[in-house]
């Protein structure tokens, strides 16, 4: 069975699903509830050393020399390493390797890693860091992306041809300028999105062991085991068969554990040098500097439309502040334009996105990678258009709906699309028609919509092999063990594969074990990013199950001397559909199958079909399926203080078939929380020296149980033709439109249009003042003209 085969959207045996579509416990829930689950920092190995990192105090400097001799002489210190020991550059995107495990020649942001120490304990390692002498030549540092774009001396990366430009993408579909010219209305505004970070509650941690036989084992809090494996091999110059990477239980990621990180190389190198296991746990402050969070963007959007609100063209110009390294920046730059082309039809579209380096913590992928910012700008402008044309904001969105089974202007194939139902849901649930624009001053409702990918066709490093693989092993005890390279980062992917196996093979959930994210034991999977896991790993799982199932069914049918069509595996038994008295337990069924076919097991895989526009970069943003979301946010704005509160958010998300609606609801709620909170409270910024403004969970300000709005999650199931049983993604899409919906609600509440994030009280007050002044001017103007006396 080929990897690209579809397995159908219905229940595997026809009729109703047994497991799918209902809420079940997670396979690792109780282990997490009882404290039994092992996370990276819970690992303790005999003789283990503790490592610490020396970081740059300068935002941009050349390293003249490093003297580690005093540190090395300190009692209890076992090794000190610097950039010299690992000079090979790497980067998660193979085309842009510009990072070093430890700085070579230069540092590019405050917090850049310079040296690492392994010692008997953290205190000793810390003391040793203070003994390392680094001679820096301080260079001009860039904190403003515009300055970095215009000035080229000194460059942040010497090897770059275009000064400080990290990536530029310009694409045009149709004739945007002509269409804007011909439009009845054109809006032209600037928007800005600030930086925000993932702030997973578990800080990054890695443990390495180097065995006498030359096997290097790394346990790391990573969400992409496979890339860490490749990067370690490349940077340490160790062949991949001598490296094993394991992701233990992971304490949240949201994109923040996608890159290979300095600490992973450092513990590995230190373990190899000392012959002892080495652990490094970053402090919360270090995690803030390691960042890889949401890119700040300055965006100019022009949207043209007809009088009846139909969009004729969208023109976007985006300046992306990348921070100091490339990370996923190439993809971010594409995504900033490529992912805007749904759920609405744009006949003409042009975008020009430029990512520049600055001397700040590097940006990367955060939940809704690269597309949350443009979505904010566009959906805000769309609201402005609705107000200008006096069309209901939900209605204008309906009018521009692109439909199902269609192609976007940039050539992406869209199949299932439940966006209209999402709009219906939030419209009804929020009693929109009765309340929008009718609430008292200071209260408002806002709407926005969005689309997101379910995995990406672009596999980061081009190769013809499957994107996801699964192995199944059947034990004589009746247990089915699933080996998956997929990374469960809390979203529940290990549970999802278990549910699928239960559905397909008729075993009970407690007969399934999941072994995940261990490069020695599991087939390759490309990891937890771009919302790919349910779709891709799910399809691979069904693929593997179908092969195993046909063997079991065939063996039972032979045993019973009946047509295989009569054999069904369900609820822990194999039964004869035509003779209800004939059934055996699955354990026995597996024995019969093993006797007939020898040791039981199977593999399954998934690869994407060939998709994407026929132009350079056309596969970036191409996905086998897209999810759709609509939000209505209710906001209260205090006129006196400018304070914004959000009593309620309604979010409807089209995730295809909800394999476990409880887990889907959890993803929707977590996304809504994250979006609203980053819009209102969070700000990942540095001061004029490049120092983070508040690198702690208190100063960064994240919402508690008290500040989080009431969230109502609605699941819309537009059964996708290619997803596993019709499923799509749920983890990232439901964040996008929460932010513009909030901004639009603020406008409905007080008539102030906020185009710059975060939405702070000061901005509300400034907006109110400006509004008052304009109104006064208008009045005095009218007085002077004698209009008022008429």
Partner 1 sequence: MRSLRLNVNGDTLDTAAPSHWTLLEVLRYKLGLTGSKQGCDKGDCGACTVLVNGKPVLSCLTLAANAEGKDVQTIEGLMPAHRANGGQGADPIQDAFDRCGALQCGFCQPGMMLSARALLTENKAPTKRDIQDALSGNLCRCTGYTQILQAVETALVDEVGGDAPTPCWASCATNLGPAKGKTEPIQGGGV
Whichever of 249 and 372 has its CB closer to partner 1, that residue is 249
Whichever of 446 and 490 has its CB closer to ligand FES, that residue is 490
Residue 774, contacted partner among ligand FES, partner 1, none, CB below 5-8 A by kind: none
Whichever of 611 and 681 has its CB closer to ligand FES, that residue is 681
735-25-497-517 Cα dihedral, nearest 10 degrees = 80
SS3 632: strand
Query: What is the x/- site pattern for partner 1, positions 423-442, by CB under 8 A?
Result: --x-----------------
SS3 542: helix
Whichever of 490 and 743 has its CB closer to ligand FES, that residue is 490
Whichever of 202 and 383 has its CB closer to ligand FES, that residue is 202
Among 143, 529, 626, 725, binds partner 1 (CB under 8 A): 725
Measured between alpha carbons, how far is 198 from 528 in angstroms, rounded to an integer? 15
Residues facing residue 322 across a β-bridge? none
Residues facing residue 499 across a β-bridge? none
Query: What is the x/- site pattern for partner 1, positions 671-700, by CB under 8 A?
Result: xxxx---------------------xxx--
Q: Which of 439, 357, 426 is nearest to 152 (CA)?
A: 357
Distance of CA 220 to the CA centre of its chain: 18
Beta strands of 554-640 (E only): which ranges?
A: 567-570, 573-576, 579-585, 601-606, 626-637
DSSP 421: H
Residue 25, contacted partner among ligand FES, partner 1, none, CB below 5-8 A by kind: partner 1
Measured between alpha carbons, how far is 507 from 21 in angstroms, rounded to an integer? 17
| CB-nearest residue to ligand FES | 201
Measured between alpha carbons, how far is 765 from 642 in angstroms, rounded to an integer? 5
Residues numbered 29 to 48 that lie near partner 1 (CB under 8 A) are 29-30, 32-39, 41-42, 44
Whichever of 500 and 735 has its CB closer to ligand FES, that residue is 735
Q: What is the largest CA-CA distance in the chain?
A: 100
Residue 626, contacted partner among partner 1, ligand FES, none, CB below 5-8 A by kind: none
Size of the site for ligand FES (CB under 6 A): 3
Smallest distance, partner 1 to C-beta of residue 284, A: 4
Smallest distance, partner 1 to C-beta of residue 91, A: 26
Whichever of 42 and 352 has its CB closer to partner 1, that residue is 42
| 667-to-197, 425, 652 alpha-carbon distances in Å | 18, 18, 12
Residue 714, contacted partner among ligand FES, partner 1, none, CB below 5-8 A by kind: partner 1
Residues numbered 282 to 321 that lie near partner 1 (CB under 8 A) are 283-284
> Cβ distance 503 to 423 under 8 Å?
no
Contacts of 12 (CB under 8 A, 6+ apart): 503, 504, 542, 545, 546, 549
Residue 578, contacted partner among ligand FES, partner 1, none, CB below 5-8 A by kind: none
Residue 433, contacted partner among partner 1, ligand FES, none, CB below 5-8 A by kind: none
Q: Which of 314, 442, 448 is nearest to 393 (CA)?
A: 448
Measured between alpha carbons, how far is 283 from 281 in angstroms, rounded to an integer? 7
Among 30, 201, 211, 662, binds ligand FES (CB under 6 A): 201
Residues numbered 497 to 526 that lie near partner 1 (CB under 8 A) are 508-510
Whichever of 54 and 664 has its CB closer to partner 1, that residue is 664
Smallest distance, partner 1 to C-beta of residue 129, A: 17
Smallest distance, ligand FES to C-beta of residue 228, A: 21
Smallest distance, partner 1 to C-beta of residue 762, A: 25
Among 99, 543, 576, 712, binds partner 1 (CB under 8 A): 712
Residues numbered 243 to 282 that lie near partner 1 (CB under 8 A) are 249-254, 281
> Cβ distance 589 to 520 under 8 Å?
no
Residues facing residue 470 across a β-bridge? 484, 604
Residue 302, contacted partner among partner 1, ligand FES, none, CB below 5-8 A by kind: none
Smallest distance, partner 1 to C-beta of residue 89, A: 31
Whichever of 252 and 751 has its CB closer to ligand FES, that residue is 252
Residues numbered 581 to 640 that lie near partner 1 (CB under 8 A) are none
Among 201, 465, 595, 785, binds partner 1 (CB under 8 A): 201
Give the long-range contacts of residues 71-77, CB within 8 A, separation 24 or more.
Answer: 71/115, 71/117, 71/128, 71/129, 71/131, 71/132, 72/128, 73/131, 74/119, 74/124, 74/127, 74/128, 74/131, 75/124, 76/119, 76/120, 76/121, 76/124, 77/117, 77/118, 77/119, 77/124, 77/125, 77/128
Q: Which of 369, 364, 393 is nearest to 379 (CA)?
A: 393
Contacts of 766 (CB under 8 A, 6+ apart): none
Q: Which of 150, 164, 157 is nearest to 356 (CA)?
A: 164
Measured between alpha carbons, how far is 51 from 592 in angstroms, rounded to an integer? 53
Residue 21, contacted partner among ligand FES, partner 1, none, CB below 5-8 A by kind: partner 1
Residue 726, contacted partner among ligand FES, partner 1, none, CB below 5-8 A by kind: partner 1
Is the bond leading into 343 cis (omega within 30 degrees of zero)?
yes
Residue 317, contacted partner among ligand FES, partner 1, none, CB below 5-8 A by kind: none
Measured between alpha carbons, how far is 641 from 147 in angstroms, rounded to an integer? 34
Residues numbered 236 to 255 that lie near ligand FES (CB under 6 A) are 252
Measured between alpha carbons, how far is 373 from 371 in angstroms, rounded to an integer? 5
Smallest distance, partner 1 to C-beta of residue 709, A: 9
Smallest distance, ligand FES to C-beta of residue 666, A: 9
Residues numbered 245 to 304 that lie near ligand FES (CB under 6 A) are 252
DSSP 525: B
Smallest distance, ligand FES to C-beta of residue 493, A: 14
Residue 704, contacted partner among ligand FES, partner 1, none, CB below 5-8 A by kind: partner 1
Among 271, 625, 664, 749, binds partner 1 (CB under 8 A): 664
490 belongs to the binding site for ligand FES (CB under 6 A): yes
Write out the residues near ligand FES by the rule CB under 6 A: 201, 252, 490
């Amino acid at each position: 069975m080929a990897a690209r085969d579809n397995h159908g959207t219905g229940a595997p045996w026809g009729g109703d699903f047994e497991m799918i579509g209902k809420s079940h416990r997670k396979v690792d829930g109780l282990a997490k509830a009882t404290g039994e689950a092992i996370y990276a920092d819970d690992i303790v190995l005999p003789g283990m050393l503790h490592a610490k990192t020396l970081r740059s105090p300068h935002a941009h400097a050349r390293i003249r020399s490093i003297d580690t001799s005093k540190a090395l002489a300190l009692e209890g210190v076992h090794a000190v390493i610097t950039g010299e020991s690992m000079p090979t550059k790497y980067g998660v995107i193979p085309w842009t390797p510009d990072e070093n495990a430890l700085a070579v020649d230069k540092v590019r942001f405050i917090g850049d890693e310079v040296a690492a120490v392994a010692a008997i304990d953290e205190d000793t390692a810390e003391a040793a860091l203070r003994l390392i002498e680094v001679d820096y030549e301080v260079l001009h540092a860039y904190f403003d992306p515009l300055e970095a774009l215009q000035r080229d001396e000194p460059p942040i990366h010497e090897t770059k041809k275009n000064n400080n430009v990290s990536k530029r993408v310009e694409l045009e579909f149709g004739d945007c300028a002509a269409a804007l010219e011909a439009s009845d209305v054109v809006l032209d505004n600037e928007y800005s999105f600030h930086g925000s970070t993932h702030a997973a509650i578990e800080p990054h941690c890695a443990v390495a062991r180097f065995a006498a036989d030359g096997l290097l084992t790394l346990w790391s809090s990573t969400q992409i085991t496979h890339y860490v494996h490749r990067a370690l091999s490349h940077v340490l110059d160790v062949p991949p068969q001598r490296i094993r990477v394991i992701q233990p239980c992971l304490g949240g990621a949201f994109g923040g554990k996608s890159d290979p990180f300095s600490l992973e190389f450092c513990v590995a190198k230190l373990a190899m040098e000392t012959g002892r296991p080495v652990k490094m746990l970053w402090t919360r402050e270090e995690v803030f500097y390691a960042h890889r969070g949401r890119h700040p963007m300055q965006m100019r959007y022009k949207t043209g439309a007809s009088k009846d609100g139909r969009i004729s063209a969208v023109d976007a110009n985006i300046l992306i502040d990348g921070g100091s390294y490339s990370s996923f920046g190439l993809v971010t730059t594409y995504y900033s334009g490529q992912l805007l082309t749904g759920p609405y039809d744009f006949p003409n579209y042009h975008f020009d996105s430029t990512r520049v380096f600055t001397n700040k913590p590097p940006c990367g992928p955060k939940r809704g990678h690269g597309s949350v910012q443009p979505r904010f700008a566009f959906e805000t402008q769309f609201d402005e258009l609705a107000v200008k044309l006096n069309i209901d904001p939900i209605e204008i969105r309906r009018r521009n709906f692109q439909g199902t089974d269609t192609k976007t202007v940039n050539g992406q194939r869209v199949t299932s699309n439940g966006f209209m139902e999402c709009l219906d849901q939030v419209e009804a649930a929020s009693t929109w028609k009765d309340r929008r624009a009718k609430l008292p001053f200071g209260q408002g409702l806002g709407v926005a919509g969005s689309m997101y990918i379910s995995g990406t066709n672009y596999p980061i490093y081009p190769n013809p092999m499957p994107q996801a693989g699964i192995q199944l092993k059947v034990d004589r005890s009746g247990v089915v063990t699933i080996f998956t390279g997929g990374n469960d980062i809390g979203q529940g992917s290990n549970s999802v594969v278990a549910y699928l196996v239960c559905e397909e093979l008729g075993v009970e959930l407690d007969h399934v074990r999941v072994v995940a994210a261990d490069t020695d034991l599991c087939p390759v999977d490309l990891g937890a990013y771009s919302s790919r896991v349910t779709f891709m790993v799910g399809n691979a799982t069904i693929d593997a199950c179908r092969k195993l199932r046909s063997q079991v069914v065939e063996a039972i049918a032979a045993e019973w001397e009946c047509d295989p069509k009569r054999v069904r595996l369900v609820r822990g038994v194999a039964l004869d559909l035509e003779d209800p008295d004939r059934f055996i337990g699955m354990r026995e069924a597996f024995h019969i199958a093993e006797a007939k076919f020898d040791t039981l097991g199977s593999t399954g895989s998934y690869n994407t079909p060939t998709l994407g526009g026929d132009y350079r970069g056309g596969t970036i943003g191409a996905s086998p399926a897209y999810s759709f979301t609509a939000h209505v946010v209710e906001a209260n704005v205090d006129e006196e203080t400018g304070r914004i509160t959000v009593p309620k958010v309604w979010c409807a998300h089209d995730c295809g078939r909800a394999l476990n609606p409880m887990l889907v609801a959890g993803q929707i709620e977590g996304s809504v929380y994250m979006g609203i909170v980053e819009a209102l409270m969070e700000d990942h910024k540095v001061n004029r020296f490049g120092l983070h403004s508040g690198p702690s969970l208190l100063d960064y300000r994240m919402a508690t149980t008290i500040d989080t709005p009431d969230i109502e999650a609605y699941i819309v199931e537009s059964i996708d033709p290619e997803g596993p049983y019709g499923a799509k993604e749920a983890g990232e899409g439901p964040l996008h439109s929460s932010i513009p919906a909030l901004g639009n609600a603020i406008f409905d509440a007080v008539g102030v249009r906020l185009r710059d994030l975060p939405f702070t009280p000061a901005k509300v007050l400034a907006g109110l003042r400006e509004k008052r002044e304009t109104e006064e001017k208008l009045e005095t103007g009218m007085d002077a003209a004698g209009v008022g006396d008429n």
